[in-house]
């Protein structure tokens, strides 16, 4: 079995979504990349989380061709691949339909940075993509989802904001590893929930000043796969 | 004991509502049909979920006559029977008072299709029935509940939208089997919850375009009892 | 030890509040009455729920004098006693600070009857008391709380609406027994939560018609301690 | 190992935040002081709660110098120290990012006293600090956080309101001991949640009258480390 430790990390990152209450049934998927081998390990489709093992994790190349595995890769694979190709420093991608982040995606409103919990992880708003056109939906929906995400990051550094809301769909997050990507997905849900409560208390709540934002991971951290540690503990 | 495997499936579908946090005390009920025998298996009335066994499941015919069982059938039986008679391709019906779906039913507002989580299961709005008249309430309330549901589906395909909100009451869902009906009840609650948050973030949130809707189960799937598998995993 | 079975029922009714997530720390209290003996059994003050035993339950008479027990009775005893004196058919009283019922009490708005879940247990609005005057607060706050509750029921039958919201404080419920009172407290919280969601979806949501209301327990049921069974199961 | 019982109390107070669902990952921190020794015991940085032991707790003096321990103290230490210096009668400080209290802090609105649950612990509004200036953020952010908190209490008694919301950040609470501080953090979150629901039901909800407020702990209670016991049990 190739890439054993990557498979195990990807399995554990997928299970982290379950442990943190982010998934219903088989929703959600996390992948990790071995840049050395140019290979991606991703959750299989159709396997319940409680039965999933490291050998169920599917290995593909960056063109999405199956390299190892008996199962189909997650249906969102093509979105993950676009992100790996556009953001070569990232080590993992996590996608969920977690309820509060999805609600902001459905309302097509960026999540304002209302406090330090948000600012320690996401610098400024968590943005929303444009809606896909009918053509983009009809052909290669998953790949085009990746492309509209990347379009948002033409004006934004992916290192500064390791997540995005796909309009009418849900969040994608990334990080220096599969574990880091899943961690960001968990934090994003908490941030989305608190932002929801914040606008419920004060519809005109103001984002915090830029000065309060934590420091972004330096570019070399992404290259070397360093995990960000929590700033507020 | 007749229809043993149907009883077991109906028991398990009822317990799925408990496992997913959709019921309080003895609320809720799921039934399944054997079209071959023209018999319906439904949750008994007055038995706590934690003590319920397959032999407690009550068997009736489509006229509601008790065929096998020592217990009374669920008080909502007559509603289930109307649905089986009107939608002969369905294999199961699930009714709950799950809190967010019930809140939409109480507000008498259809649940708009705000995202792909919704669109993968329900094509367009989840509709609300008309209110029952005083006469319809006074005589045969449960049967009339079935009739107002069916009236909604004169202009809508039951295969496209496997669920409905009964005004001032709560949701009914159906599927190719009792398990599929319960699955739809769980998804509907998640969809109702996310739609609630969505309108909280943006009171004027717009439904997604038709192009983003998943493909409905083909008519033959309903006939053959195929389970839909999740599209977003 | 006197009134052993009443003590055990009162203990279990108090623990039901814990099992259903209605209490934080030592909040909440349930009592039961033996009309035969003119004695009330109530939760002690200052004992954590996880250590509480039947022998910790305190027995008092209707004047609030300690008859048996080494502990102080719950600080809300005087409110319970007013209810027993005014509503002699009831067998139990439950008080909580459960979060949604308390929020309606804090907003000083009656809970409208938006659906059948509510109507099966509470006929019409769950009312709110008047605010206590400064004098009523300063002297005998707990007894005066009972008196303002009873004032609401001069125009309402306690059998029709087995619960009330004390303005700026929280809910009190009653029933044919301590278990029934606790059951009503659990249902009230669910009803309060769904009503909260309902007004969030539609600020102008309308109550259901009177015709949809379930039938109240007949007066003799209260006298004979019969438990109402769920209507929607 | 010095201050063994203080370390154990501080460990347990930190774990209380976990047991009550107030923390995500390693968020949050509680400290306790030995006024006799002029030493503070605080949660270490970077240790998961599930592995934390009493020997991991870090001991510093009131200048923040490490006295005993192999780990770094919580990054919020300087805020805790400001509170100990300004409020010498307190025995413990607790900081969380609990979701509802943080939402009020993010909305920069004080939590109104809507009911007796609030009034039994916090006399009047739970206040919000001013926002820190750019300079206060850039140099010694944590210490300056303590200073803006103390500024609020120039016009308010810390014994009357044992907690505060730091604007755009989250709550800090204190008490007669580390356990009491954590207890106040748990109560504050419940109070913040019910206040959120209250304004959702009635945007113009009114605070309760002063007469309904519980009695504050007498000043000597703070000096002698007495725990307040719940008033509503």
Helices (H), C139-218: 141-152, 178-201
Q: Residue D75 and residue A232: Cβ atoms within 8 Å?
A: yes
Distance CA D190, CA C55 (A): 31
* Cα Rg of chain B (Å, integer): 17
**How many angstroms separate the CA atoms of B231 and B123, rounded?**
14
Reported as a pLDDT band with limits 50, 70 and 90, residue C232 is low
Closest CA to D98 of C158, A217, B86, A115: A115
From the list A115, A212, A230, the residue facing D27 with the nearest CB is A230
CB C88 within 8 A of CB C225: no
Q: How far apart are the first and last CA of chain B?
A: 39
User: pLDDT-based confidence at C144, cuts 50/70/90?
Assistant: very high
pLDDT of residue A219: 56
Distances (CA, A) of A94 to A171, A174, C108, D95, D169: 8, 6, 44, 30, 27
d(CA D24, CA A125): 21
Whole-number Å distance between alpha carbons of B60 and B73: 8
Chain A residues with CB-CB distance to D99 below 8 A: 190, 193-194, 197
C63 in Cβ contact with C88 (< 8 Å): no
Q: Chain A residue with minimal CA distance to B187?
A: A24
Which residues of chain B from 160 to 189 reach within 8 Å of chain A, CB to CB? 183, 186-187
Contact (CB<8Å) D200/C170? no
* Helix, coil or strand: residue B42: strand
pLDDT at D178: 98
Q: Tell me the whole-structure pTM to 2 decimals.
A: 0.95
Query: Which chain A residue lies closest to B120 (C-alpha atoms)?
Result: A169
Work out the minimum CA distance from D164 to partner chain C, whole angstroms.
Answer: 21
- Nearest C-alpha of chain A: how many angstroms from B131? 29
Which is higher by pLDDT, A218 or C111? C111
Q: With beta carbons under 8 A apart, name residues in chain B contacting A105.
A: 115
Q: Are A233 and D28 within 8 A, CB to CB?
A: yes
Q: Cite the beta strand spans of D83-210 per DSSP E.
A: 92-95, 163-166, 170-175
Whether B143 contacts chain C with CB within 8 A: no
pLDDT digits (tens, 9 = 90+) for C33-71: 999 999 999 999 999 999 999 999 999 999 999 999 999
Q: Residue C34 forms beta bridges with which residues?
A: C39
A196 and B197: CB-CB below 8 Å? yes
Question: Is the ipTM here above 0.90?
Answer: yes
| pLDDT at D213 (0 to 100) | 76
Pick from C24, C109, C138: CB nearest D202: C109
Residues D51 and D25 sit within 8 Å (Cβ to Cβ): no
Which of chain B's residues have a Cβ under 8 Å away from the Cβ of A170?
Answer: 115-117
Distance from the Cα of A28 to chain B's closest Cα (Å) equals 5
Q: CA nearest A124: which of A156, A148, A150, A101? A: A156
Chain C positions in Cβ-Cβ contact with residue D205 (cut-off 8 Å)? 106-108
Q: What's the rounded Cα separation, in Å, for the pair A42 and B73?
A: 46
Bridge pairing between strands D29-34 and C66-68:
unpaired
Number of C–D residue contacts, CB under 8 Å:
82
Average pLDDT, chain A: 92
**Closest chain A C-alpha to B191 CA, distance in angstroms:** 9
Tell me D44's DSSP state: B
- Exposure of B231 in the CB half-sphere (CA atoms within 13 A): 17
Phi, psi torsion values for B150, nearest 5 degrees: -65, -30
Regions of chain A with pLDDT less than 70 = 214-233
The residue whose two tokens read 């951290």 is A221
Contact B233 A29 (CB under 8 A): yes
**Which residues fall within 8 angstroms of residue D100, CB to CB, at 6 or more apart?**
A197, D189, D192, D193, D195, D196
Which H or E run includes B182? helix B178-201
What tokens appear for B203 in the block? 């009171």
Nearest CA in chain B to A139: B211
Q: From the CB of residue D58, how many other CB atoms can be counted at a distance below 10 Å?
A: 24
- CA A165, CA A111: separation in Å to the nearest integer? 9
Q: Do D230 and C25 touch (CB under 8 A)?
A: yes
Would you tell me which residues 98-117 of chain D have a C-beta closer than 8 angstroms to some C-beta of chain C?
A: 114-117
Q: Is A194 on the interface with D (CB under 8 A)?
A: yes
Binding partners of D (≥3 Cβ pairs within 8 A): A, C
Mutation target for B interface from A52, A76, A103: give the one with most B CBs within 10 A.
A103
The Cα of D208 is separated from the nearest Cα of chain C by a number of Å equal to 6
Distance of CA C2 to the CA centre of its chain: 24
A131 touches chain B (CB under 8 A): yes
Q: In whole angstroms, how far apart are CA A11 and each of A30, A98, D233?
A: 8, 18, 46
Asked if A114 and D168 come within 8 Å (Cβ–Cβ), the reply is yes
DSSP lists the bridge partners of residue D166 as D170
φ, ψ of residue C63 to 5 degrees: the values are: -90, 0
Smallest Cβ–Cβ distance between D168 and the set A116, A186, A232 belongs to A116
What is the mean pLDDT of the segment spanning C204-210?
93
* HSE-up of residue D158 (Cα within 13 Å, Cβ side): 26
Question: Two tokens at A220?
Answer: 């070399």
Tokens 């932002």 belong to: A195
Cα(D194)–Cα(C100) distance, rounded to whole angstroms? 7
Q: Which residues of D touch A197 (CB under 8 A)?
A: 99-100, 103, 196
Beta strands in chain A (DSSP E): 29-34, 39-42, 58-61, 66-68, 92-95, 163-166, 170-175
pLDDT of residue D222: 62
Residues 6+ apart with CB under 8 A from B206: A108
Instruction: For residue B89, give the nearest of B22, B197, B148, B177 by alpha carbon.
Output: B177
- Which among D26, D103, D168 has the least Cβ separation from residue A208? D168
Nearest neighbour of C205 by CB, restricted to B102, B107, B137: B107
Nearest CA-CA distance, residue A232 and chain D, Å: 6
Reading the block at residue D185, the tokens are 């953090």
Burial class (CB in 10 A: 0-12, 13-18, 19+), C212: buried
Query: Distance (Å, rounded) from C-alpha A91 to C-alpha A95?
Result: 14
Q: Does D211 touch chain C (CB under 8 A)?
A: yes
Lateral strand order in the sheet of C170-175: C66-68, C58-61, C39-42, C29-34, C92-95, C170-175, C163-166
Residue D172 contacts residue D79 (beta carbons within 8 Å): yes
**Could you tell me which residues are beta bridge partners of residue A174?**
A93
In which residue ranges of chain B is pLDDT below 50?
Answer: 215-216, 224-231
| Interface contact D169-A114, CB threshold 8 A | no
User: Distances in Å between the alpha carbon of A27 and those of A181, A186, B197, B217?
Assistant: 16, 14, 19, 19
Total CB pairs under 8 A between chain A and B: 83
Q: Which residues of B touch A27 (CB under 8 A)?
A: 117, 230, 232-233
Q: Are B198 and A103 a contacting pair at CB < 8 A?
A: yes
D201:C103 CB<8 A:
yes
Ranges of residues in chain D whose predicted pLDDT is under 50? 215-216, 224-231
Answer with the residue of higher pLDDT: D80 or C228: D80
For domain D4-227, say whether CATH 3.40.50.10310 is its number. no
Report the alpha-carbon distance of residue D149 to residue D169 in Å, rounded: 12
CA B164 – CA A169 distance, rounded (Å): 23
Identify which of A28, A168, A199 has the shortest CB distance to residue B116: A168
D105: which chain A residues are within 8 Å (Cβ-Cβ)? 115
Question: Hey, how many other C-beta atoms are within 10 angstroms of the C-beta on B54?
Answer: 17
**Strand ranges (E), D44-140:** 58-61, 66-68, 92-95
Strands (DSSP E) contained in D73-216 are 92-95, 163-166, 170-175
Which residues, numbered 7 to 36 in chain B, qualify as contacts with chain C under a Cβ-Cβ cut-off of 8 Å? 24-29
Chain B residue whose CA is closest to A27: B233
Interchain CB distance below 8 Å, B115 and A46: no
pLDDT digits (tens, 9 = 90+) for B49-104: 999 999 999 999 999 999 999 999 999 999 999 999 999 999 999 999 999 999 99
Question: Which tokens sit at A157?
Answer: 């550094």
- Residue whose pair of structure tokens reads 């909440």 in the numeric block: C28
HEC profile for A63-128? Answer: CCCEEECCCCECCCHHHHHHHHHHCCCCCEEEECCCHHHHHHHHHCCCECCCCHHHHCCCCCCECE
Put simply, whether B47 touches A (Cβ < 8 Å) is no
Residues C31/C92, Cβ–Cβ less than 8 Å:
yes
Nearest CA to B210 out of A131, A103, A130, A28 is that of A131
pLDDT tens digits along C72-99 = 999 999 999 999 999 999 999 999 999 9
């Amino acid at each position: 079995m190739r890439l054993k430790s990557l498979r195990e990390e990807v399995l554990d990152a997928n299970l982290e979504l379950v442990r943190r209450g982010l998934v219903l049934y088989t929703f959600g998927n996390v992948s990790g990349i071995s840049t050395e081998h140019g290979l991606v390990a991703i959750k299989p489709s159709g396997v319940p989380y409680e039965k999933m093992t490291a050998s169920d994790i599917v290995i593909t190349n960056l063109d999405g061709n199956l390299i190892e595995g008996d199962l189909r890769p997650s249906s969102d694979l093509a979105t993950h691949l676009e992100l790996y190709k556009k953001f070569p420093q990232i080590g993992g991608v996590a996608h969920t339909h977690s309820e509060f982040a999805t609600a902001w995606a459905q309302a097509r409103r960026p999540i304002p940075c209302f406090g330090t919990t948000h600012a320690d992880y996401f610098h400024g708003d968590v943005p929303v993509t444009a809606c896909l056109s009918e053509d983009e939906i009809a052909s290669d929906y998953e790949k085009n989802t990746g492309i509209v995400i990347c379009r948002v990051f033409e004006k934004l550094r992916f290192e500064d904001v390791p997540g995005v809301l796909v309009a009418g769909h849900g969040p994608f997050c990334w990080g220096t590893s599969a574990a880091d990507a899943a961690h960001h997905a968990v934090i994003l849900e908490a941030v989305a929930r608190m932002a929801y409560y914040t606008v419920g208390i004060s519809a005109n709540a103001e984002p915090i000043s830029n000065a309060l934002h934590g420091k972004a991971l330096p570019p070399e951290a992404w290259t070397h796969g360093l995990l960000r540690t929590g700033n507020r503990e």
